[in-house]
Structures are given as C-alpha cells and as structure tokens.
Structure 1
Amino acid sequence: MNSTRTLWITIGTAALLTTALWIGGLVYAVNDVINPKPAPYEGTASPAQPEEENKTTIDIVALGDSLTVGTGDVSGKGYVQNVREKLAAVTKKQVNLIGNYGINGYKTDQLLNDLQKANGVPYGIEKADVVLLTIGGNDLFAVGQDVMNSQTNELDANKVRERLPEPMNRLEQILTRLAQLNPKAKIVYVGVYNPFYDLPEMRPASVHVQEWNDRAFDVANRFPNMVYVPTFDLFQLQFAKYMYSDHFHPNQEGYVRIADRVVQALE
C-alpha cells in the first residue's frame, strides 16, 4: 500500500517537472521568435562595395598670368592646350578645358582677390579634376624694379629680399586657398624662371627666382594633391631657342617643353 502510494507520488512529481520544462522551453522559443538575436559571426568579411567607376573625362581649369594665356606662342596653344592634348594622349580619356582664367600681367594680389570671391573662378576650380597655375613672374619683375646697386650696376640683394616676403606670403595664401576649394583635384603650380638669364647683369636674379620657387615647393609639399613643377632649367642653357622675341615669355617650343613636364607630373 505504502509502496503504491510512493510510486504515484513519484510519477506525479515527474509529470509536473516535465510540464514545467515544456512550458519553459515554449516560452523561450516564443521569445526567440518575437525578439530575434543575430547569430554569432563566423564567416569572412563581406566584400567591400565597389568604388565609383573612374571618370572617362578629365576637366581642367587654368588660372594665373600671361603664361596661362599662352602669350608668345604663335600657335595660340600655350602650355595649357598642349597639356590638354598630351594628357588625352597618355590617359586615353577625353580631356576638357572647362575654364582658362589667365590674364596678362596678373600678379598675386589680383589672383588672391579672385579666389576670395563667392563665385566665378572658385566655382570653376571646384568643378575641376586638374588645376593648372602660373603666377609670380610679374611679382618678381616688380620686385626687381629700381633695386640696382649704383656702384656695382647689379641687383641689390638686400633690397630684393626686403620686398620678397609680401608677394611670397600671397603665393602661400593662393596655394592654400586652391587646396581648400578642391582637395580632390590635382593642383599643379608651374614654377617661375629668370627671363633675363642671358644678360650678365641680371643673372644674379636667378638666386631670388629660386628662393621664390623654394617657397612654392615648400607650400605645395604640404598638400597631398598638389605638385610643384620646375621650369627654370628648361630655358637656362638654350635661352634663345625657347624664348619669344619679347624676351619674357616662352615661344611655341618653350610652351611645349613646359607642357611635357606638367604631363609627366600628372601621369
């Protein structure tokens, strides 16, 4: 009698435990459906999203002084159009000149003023893939006015260096502004040369030209999308062959040489 009673108690207890376990499992399962949790990550990383396809065109904006205009090139191309043609040939892409803002006689103060405006030149720069710049030759020419040493008939280096900081600082502001306007475009600053190198009394001016170029190189080196392209040596040994008759600007062949060097920097 007692054994039978104990058996039924045991069976009942087991049944209650089984029911409790079943109900607990049911609640857990329902909760997992209602509030799903992500499964532990065990696979490899999903492939990165493909980058936007490369553009099939390259848009160029050029600005600066008479070298950007192409003064001295009887073909009318100047270095800018030569760059456009040569860059198209090496990249196999359509290269468009969407704006040439070069102005004869332009100096750093004038260009800096243009870049600080809300539209116009800045708008074109923002749309460009490549920005070409020549500036500084007219500033250096102005610096060299009335600085000849009356006793030696040579440039007074001290007077020149007194005048250089102001336009050099503007050059730095110009390059910095360009980088701000378009941090993705390739910005090319074409260095200046001494257009009077063949005159013995003006050859010492090359030192100051190099000081200018050194400053430009230093500033360009701060920005990953900017490059300084030297031109001084292109005219140094065969001056007459590559200079125009005005003794200041390159001729047609001289501009081609500048363009070749710019394209090499962009490749």
Structure 2
Amino acid sequence: MNKLLLLFLCVCLVGCSSTSTTTVPTTIQENEQEQIKPRDLHVVALGDSLTKGVGDGKGGYVTFIKQYLEQREDVNKVFVQNFGKRGLRSEQLTDVIMNNESVIRKADVILITIGGNDVMKVVRSHFLSLTYELFVKEQQMFASRLDEQLQLLRYMNPDAYIVLSGLYNPFSSAFPNIPEMDEIIHMWNEGSKKVISRYDRALFVPIDDLFEERDDILYDDQFHPNTRGYELIAQRMYEHLQKHEEWIGE
C-alpha cells in the first residue's frame, strides 16, 4: 500500500514539473514578440534646398533616411512629409512650421536643414565689402531665430526627435575672394550646436568634413550635393540618430 502511494506521488510530481516548464517559455516568447513588434513612423522634413533634394532628383537625403528606417526590424512603415523649399532662409522657416502644425504634432522625427541661404544673403548683399564681422552678426540673428523655432517645435510636439544638419562649405570655389569661409562655416555650426544643445531629444549633426576636397559629391552647380553627397549626409544623420535609441519611442 505504501509503495503504491509513493508511486502515485511521484507521477503527480512529474506531471506538475512538466506542466510548469512548458508554460513559462511560451510566456517569455510572447513577451519578446510584443517587444519587437514593428511600428509606423512619421517623419517631417523642414528646410531649404537640401531638404528639397535639389541636385539629386530622387528626394535627397530624406529619401535615403526613409530607406534606412524601413530596414529596421522595429519599424513597419515610414510616412514622410517633406516641406523643403529651395532658397528658404531661417527668417522664413517659422511660417513653414506654423502652416504645418497639424502634421508636426504627429511627427516622431523632425529633420531640418537651414542656414546656407542666410550665408548666401550676406555674400550677395555685401559682395564688394565683405568682412568677417558681417557673418558674425548674421549668425547671431540666425541663432536667435533658430532658438525660437525650436521652442515652437517643442510646444507643438514635446516628444519628436529633432535632427538639425550643420552647414558644409561649397563657397570656396565660388567665392575665392573670401579665404575665411571655412572659419565662417565653423563659427556658424558651433553657434547652431550650442543652441540645439539646450533641448532634450535634439541632435546637431556635423557634415562639413564630408565635403572637404570632395568636388565629386557635388552637383553640376558645384553648390548642392549630388546623389552620393546626399547619401553621405543621410548616413551621417542616421548614425547620430542611432546613438540615441530612445527616439524610436514606445
């Protein structure tokens, strides 16, 4: 009688043990599947001809970033709204932001290129009397506007990751009478970097080094990037974005 009882208890214990080991892995697997469930992303691109993609014809760096995002396992579809406009200066960017508030509020990532036409404005307005001080003055006004625009974007969308591209220097070949242009671009980028560092979930991405002595990645106008140039910009921006994985959100 005791032997039969002992055998019955052993069978019960084995049955309980096998049940517990088969249900736990299933639960873990379900949780893992939930964690990597891909999501849709909404990207808004703001700015000048670089955002427009002038010189490429395929959408510029914005198209490349869309491709990179869609290759991720945690991303399903990427919806892009590109409001890039050729010739846009920083003083005009606020209106673009205000006119597209409803779209900006839904954005997960906001990409910005701005400033190149502000530099060109100084060159064209003072071509025969250019001084370094003129660029410093214009950059200070640019930085003030940029700060206000970032505040506006944050008011509209507290959570989106903002990625601001720096300037590169295509001006040297076009304006050889301005030998300080590299220094001017560096000064401009440092000012932009300082402004954006005040904001959470915001990145400044330097790209000036990509174009140093690289006429082969410029378009025929020797000012805008060509397809390869835009691809390099997109790679740099995406590399910086990947260092801050919290941008992907919940």
The answer to whether 1:82 aligns with 2:64 is: yes
Q: Distance in 1 between matches of 2:232 and 2:181?
A: 23
Deviation readout 1:125-176 (Å, 9 max, x if unpaired)? 11011110111111111022243566xxxx4112332333222311221222
Deviations 1:47-88 (A, max 9, x none): xxx9x97761111111111111100004x1300010000122
Instruction: Show the counterpart of 2:112.
Output: 133
Does structure 2 retain, via aligned residues, the 8 Å contact 1:62–1:132? yes
Report % sequence identity.
35
Greater CA deviation, 100-109 or 170-179? Answer: 170-179
- Structure 2 partner of 1:206: 182
- On the 8 A contact 2:83/2:96 being kept in 1, the answer is no
Contact 1:64 1:101 in 2 (8 A): yes
In 2: Cα distance, 1:84 partner to 1:174 partner? 24
Letter in 1 for 2:86: N
d(CA) in 1 for partners of 2:171, 2:84: 23
The count of aligned residue pairs is 208
Identify the range of structure 1 (180-189 vs 93-102) with the bigger mean alpha-carbon deviation: 93-102
SS in 2 for 1:192: coil
Equivalent of residue 134 in structure 2, options 130, 135, 159: 159
CA contact (8 A) 1:61 1:132 kept: yes
Counterpart of 1:197 in 2: which secondary structure? helix
Counterpart secondary structure, 1:211: helix
**What root-mean-square deviation, in Å, do the aligned CA atoms of Structure 1 and Structure 2 show?**
2.2
Distance 2:241 2:62 in 1: 13
**Partner residue in 2 for 1:25:** none
5+ residue gaps, structure 2: 1-30, 243-250
Matching residue's letter, 2:85: I
Aligned runs of 1:161-180 on 2, under 5 Å? 161-180=136-155
| CA pair 140-95 structure 1, distance change in 2 beyond 3 A | farther
Per-residue displacement from partner, 1:67-112 (whole Å, max 9, x unpaired)?
11100004x1300010000122245512423311111111111111
TM-score if structure 1 supplies the norm length?
0.71
Bigger CA radius of gyration: 1
- What does residue 12 of structure 2 align with? none
Aligned residue identity for 1:210: H
- Going from structure 1 to structure 2, the CA distance change for 1:91 and 1:184 (only over 3 Å counts) comes to farther
Q: Any conservation in 2 of the 1:192–1:232 contact (CA below 8 Å)? A: yes
Amino acid of the residue matched to residue 156 of structure 2? Answer: L
Structure 1 unpaired stretches of 5+? 1-49
**Distance apart, 1:209 and its partner CA:** 1.6
Report the TM-score when normalising by structure 2: 0.76
Specify the code of the residue in structure 1 equivalent to 2:204. Answer: Y
Q: What are the within-5 Å matches in structure 2 for residues 62-73 of structure 1?
A: 62-73=45-56
Instruction: Tell me if structure 2 keeps the 8 A contact 1:126–1:181.
Output: yes
Q: Take 2:179 and 2:78, find their aligned partners in 1: how far apart are those partners?
A: 39
Shift of 1:229: 0.6
Please tell me whether the aligned partners of residues 60 and 95 of structure 1 are also in contact (alpha carbons under 8 angstroms).
Answer: no
Alpha-carbon distance change, 260 to 91 in structure 1, aligned in 2, over 3 angstroms: farther
- Work out the CA distance in 2 between the residues paired with 1:98 and 1:160: 34
Q: Does 1:59 align with 2:42?
A: yes
